[in-house]
Amino acid sequence: MKQEKGTKRIIIAIDGPAASGKSTTARRVAQQLGYIYIDTGAMYRSVTLKVLQLGLLDHLRRSPESVSDVIKDISIRFEGDRVFLNDSDVTAEIRDNRVSREVSFISSLKHVRDRLREMQQEFGRQRGVVMDGRDIGTVVFPDAELKIFLVADSRERAKRRYAELIAKCPDGGELPDLDVLEDEIIKRDRADAEREHAPLTKHVDAFEIDTSDLTIDRQVDIVYNLALDLQKDCR
């Protein structure tokens, strides 16, 4: 959709726990508004993948400051739906379960957060961006014109993750149990909400939307219409 003449490009921050529908909503709202979409979870996942590739996880648990060596030369860019880490396409690998299991630890490290926050603020410098994550409305863009906080029941979120895994692996090989998946999601949410730096929390100005019983079309519509109103207000 084309940008309407005379409207201002805004920043839309979408935060919330795992599998609450952030990325699908953010991607579609960005498409409809002609904005760019930045998946900040993919950035934390990329750093985690790099740490795993270098075999440094145990070392970092003992000496978290040394993560600065890993991130000093890191480059992350988005091309449409693809994510590139230092020029290699890591779109599929960053969704591996071993990355999902370790990402909360890596994203709790201050050096990592400081570096990625700088990159994220640079991505949003021109505004006209939809960014999703855990701390976008609270820390990265506290001045975002539209802040959304998506939530959903943990069982429903586990079912969504399960459906994604089936779609990725239709022969059913290596599918985790639904209870295990729900447990992993709850543990990751807790780690994200209880960490010291930029914990997952709702900004006081954020609109909270419970997506448990909403279709994707409906949740996209709600956010899109809020954005249209704000674009007009910001003229």
Q: Which helix (H) or strand (E) holds 210?
A: strand 207-210
Query: Is residue 203 near ligand CDP by the rule CB under 6 A?
Result: no
Query: Is residue 44 near ligand CDP by the rule CB under 6 A?
Result: yes
Q: Which stretch binds ligand CDP (CB under 6 A): 18-26, 147-155, 207-215, 218-226?
A: 18-26
**Closest separation between CB of residue 17 and ligand CDP, Å?**
7
**Closest separation between CB of residue 114 and ligand CDP, Å?**
12
Query: Is residue 188 near ligand CDP by the rule CB under 6 A?
Result: yes
Q: Which stretch binds ligand CDP (CB under 6 A): 54-62, 73-81, 99-107, 122-130?
A: 99-107
Q: What is the C-alpha separation between 86 and 2, in angstroms, rounded?
A: 32
Query: Is residue 192 near ligand CDP by the rule CB under 6 A?
Result: yes
| Residue with smaller CB distance to ligand CDP, 10 or 18 | 18
Q: Binding ligand CDP by CB under 6 A: which of 29, 35, 67, 104? A: 104
| Residue with smaller CB distance to ligand CDP, 45 or 50 | 45
Q: Which helix (H) or strand (E) holds 151?
A: strand 146-151
160 close to 19: Cβ distance less than 8 angstroms: yes
Which value, in Å, is the radius of gyration of the alpha carbons in the chain? 18
Number of Cβ atoms within 10 Å of the Cβ of 69 = 11
Q: What is the 3-state secondary structure (H, E, C) of 101-131?
A: HHHHHHHCCHHHHHHHHHHHHHHCCCCCEEE
Q: Please identify the residue of the shown chain whose CB is closest to the bound ligand CDP.
A: 41
Q: What is the C-alpha separation between 188 and 204, in angstroms, rounded?
A: 23
Closest CA to 230 of 23, 29, 21, 22: 29
Query: Is residue 149 near ligand CDP by the rule CB under 6 A?
Result: no
Q: Binding ligand CDP by CB under 6 A: which of 25, 40, 154, 231? A: 40
Interface contacts to ligand CDP, rule CB under 6 A: 18-19, 23, 40-41, 44-45, 103-104, 107, 133-136, 188, 192
